[in-house]
Chain A
Amino acid sequence: MKRLWLILPLALFGLFIGLAAYQMTQPKDEFVRSTMIGKPLPAFDLPGETEDAPRLTSQMFADGTPRLLNVWATWCLPCIAEAPQLDALAKRGVPIVGVAIRDEPEAIAQFLDRYGNPYSAIARDDIAELQLALGSSGVPETFVIDGKGVIRYQHIGDIRADNIDEIYAEWEKAR
């Protein structure tokens, strides 16, 4: 019995080494995937682009049309870099709903003036409630939402030129 106790530290240590060695040989996945994929959009009800624009709700996504949901902000530099790619997607017929995080109507108007407006509608998320509910860890991030309002795909970071086809394909898949 006592012998067994004396071997215990060695055994636990061996377990740790095995686990660490196994993990070190695994490819490292750098992104934090949202666990929301495959689940319906969290319920929300947010103010629109300006004070008098209609409010945006989660029900609007369940109308049979797949959309992109783009989480962005006027104060975010990668979002500026992303703007041309969103425009290209919009030109290919993809409806994009923007969610502006912690933003102001004036700043949004200015931003869209300068960098183009790919959005079919914009919601203002002043306290990042929708962003948190989506399990998104930063701006920009883009989700593919199918016609039933279910999240199908998540793209983390800005959409680069070589991501356009991939995202378009995911949107097609969601139809």
Chain B
Amino acid sequence: MIAEIGLAALWLAAGLCLLQFIAGAIGARGDEQGPVSALVRPAAIVQALLLVVSFVCLLWVFAVTDLSVALVAANSHADKPLVYRISGAWGNHEGSMLLWVTILGLCSALIASLERRMDARFVKTALAAQGFVALGFFAFLLLSSNPFARLNPPAEFGAGLNPLLQDIGLALHPPTLYVGYVGLSVAFSFVVAGLVTRQAGPELARAMRPWVLAAWISLTLGIAAGSYWAYYELGWGGWWFWDPVENASLMPWLAATALLHSIGVLAARDALRTWTIMLGVVAFSMSMVGTFLVRSGILTSVHAFAVDPERGAFILGLLTIYIGGAFALFALRAGALAEGKRFVALSREGALVFNNVMLSAILAVVLLGTLYPLLSEALGTRVSIGPPYYNPVTAVFAVPMLLVLAVGPLLRWRRDRISRIAAPLVLVGVVLAASVIAVVAFSGAGVLPTIGLALAVTLAVASWLPLMGRNPRRVPLALWGSMLAHFGVAVSLAGMASESAFSTERLVAVRSGDTVEVGPFTATLGAVEPVAGPNWTALEARIAIAGEGVDTVLRPQSRTFTDPPQNTSEAALLTRWNGQLYAILGDAAGEGRWQLRLWWKPFVTLIWYGGVLIALGGLLALLGHLRSGVRRARIGEAIAQRRADRESEAAA
């Protein structure tokens, strides 16, 4: 019954989505006040409610493990802990698509109920675009991936969830990323509406900014969480593999970062109109291309969990319609947009343009690397592209970008003089030189890590320089946000460089009682014994760790899950303020010996702390912009009120 309610709600929502599109399209043609086009806002809001009902129904059938629902039988098991039974709802293709559509619907509802800055025609056009995008995904869900399909007769046992996904980090990772991906769809709809209604000025930028910021915050957190998950769950000790699935989340983030900064220029200075519009399309197309690459299985990936060529073809079709359509609209209309304001190279805009170009270059590098196997396979050779390509080539663009990032925020809008910022410039130069010398003298790290460490130190200092000459209590919230986010970049960069420069690795086969040195610690293998969990059994090693005032026991496991049968390696981590000790239990090596893999990774945790700081910075900026938006609206209302009062006085 619950499944049928869910399905019915989904169909009703699809109908309302069609109404939202039609009503919005009528509104977009100029008939804002007509009776049909007035339906667009209510249609969007009710549609979102129905989608929430549908999604709750899906959560319910997963929570109670209703095995007459095909999706539950294929992806869940009654023995799993409740939280993983629920997260199983979106740990599969159908459920994650429903989540996607639900978030899309919620975004439509939010636009419909909150967006007051843009005129009615613009909002209706944006809602029509949003509805058009949602329609495709509705069709996808209802025609080829119905999450509520019944199984007759019901299964006796569920098949379980891929045990790698049975993890709290991964339970939260997809929804976070989806909020990011779908949030970018709002930017896309706004840009399309801007092209249709020929509005591409600062108002558009201000209206888009909270959406892009919110999407960007989610993407940042999602990527950081995904990276940490891969780090401790896959048991390879690495935190980023340049895998297509990872790139699929990184590319929208890069595009959104560029978009965020160009929106800043458009909002403040009314420059970069065409560029911002294009980035708005690119950002969302990157999230769709990412989804396509992940779901179609067109690229072989270490973590493609849901692969199906037919669905890939469907997404490719949607991609062609939406992104192709938007780029066609861009080609037709963007030329007619009034050109934005001009500026000289040495200005805040100039620095931001530089940052945008570098970010886009990195995006192009990652996109090319991700698609290259596809391209070369079409030409008959098989290649795989890895860190030897990505690391140096992205660094070529990242290093100048980070250097400009250190001084860019100090520049004034429109035009500036070097002499005005001479003092902070010298400070940045001195810090940079000193840190390069320090790193070279004391560590002997490789070229890239050395540059990374020196840049991290410089940027950590430089990110707070905009405070110079300001009263800290009068610094706007949004500026605090931007400084914190830039500081987060420095923190994250320090973690990456330190991990790659100073990690020590030991791969040994030891007997119980043997001792291994790793970094500043000694590790002594104790007993290796079987343990059991709710739906797994495992061999657990007890490794006594001593050194640096630490005296503890790590218990890495080699787990065997029963439903479905699969072995995973559960790393054991010792987190210290100055790094992490990472232990993996390998196979039995014969004669009572066990393979152990131990890493000491100094300051590796900074990578993810940095990610969290970046997201926090984004949150502060979001709050700051929302507050100033409300204040601006209130002042506008007050002025209008006063004018009306005066007019009525004059009339009296």
Contacts and interface: CB of A to CB of B under 8 A. Distances in A.
A2 B331 CA distance: 10
A75 B587 contact: yes
A20 B298 contact: yes
Closest 10 pairs (CB-CB, A-B): A10-B327, A104-B590, A7-B331, A6-B331, A9-B327, A6-B334, A10-B331, A107-B590, A13-B327, A17-B320
A33 interface: yes
Interface in B377-435: 377-378, 382
Nearest to A12: B327
Interface stretch (B15-23, B121-129, B180-188, B278-286): B278-286
A3 interface: yes
Interface residues of B, number: 34
A43 interface: no
Nearest to A106: B590
A14 B327 CA distance: 10
Interface stretch (A21-29, A44-52, A88-96): A21-29
Contacts of B328: 10
Interface of A: 2-3, 6-7, 9-10, 13-14, 16-17, 19-24, 26, 28, 32-33, 75, 104, 106-107
Contacts of B334: 6
A107 B312 CA distance: 46
Nearest to B374: A23
A93 B314 CA distance: 53
A6 B336 CA distance: 11
Contacts of A9: 278, 281-282, 327, 330-331
15 contacts: A3-B335, A9-B282, A9-B327, A9-B330, A10-B324, A13-B285, A14-B324, A19-B371, A20-B292, A23-B378, A24-B296, A24-B312, A28-B309, A75-B587, A104-B590
Contacts of B335: 2-3, 6
A94 to B, nearest CB: 29
A106 to B, nearest CB: 7
B356 to A, nearest CB: 15
Given A17-B319, A20-B374, A10 B330 contact: yes
Given A106-B591, A107-B590, A20 B331 contact: no
Interface of B: 274, 278, 281-282, 285, 289, 292, 296-298, 309, 312-313, 316, 319-320, 323-324, 327-328, 330-331, 334-335, 371, 374-375, 377-378, 382, 587, 589-591
Contacts of B590: 104, 106-107
A23 B324 contact: no
B59 to A, nearest CB: 33
A50 B485 CA distance: 60
A23 B313 CA distance: 11
Contacts of A19: 371, 374-375, 378
Contacts of B296: 20, 24
A24 B308 CA distance: 11
A6 B323 CA distance: 14
Nearest to B328: A10
Given A9-B281, A75-B587, A106-B590, A22 B330 contact: no
A20 B378 contact: no
B152 to A, nearest CB: 32
Nearest to B285: A13
B324 A21 contact: no
A33 B377 CA distance: 13
Contacts of A32: 382
Nearest to B300: A30
Nearest to B593: A104
A15 to B, nearest CB: 10
Contacts of B320: 17
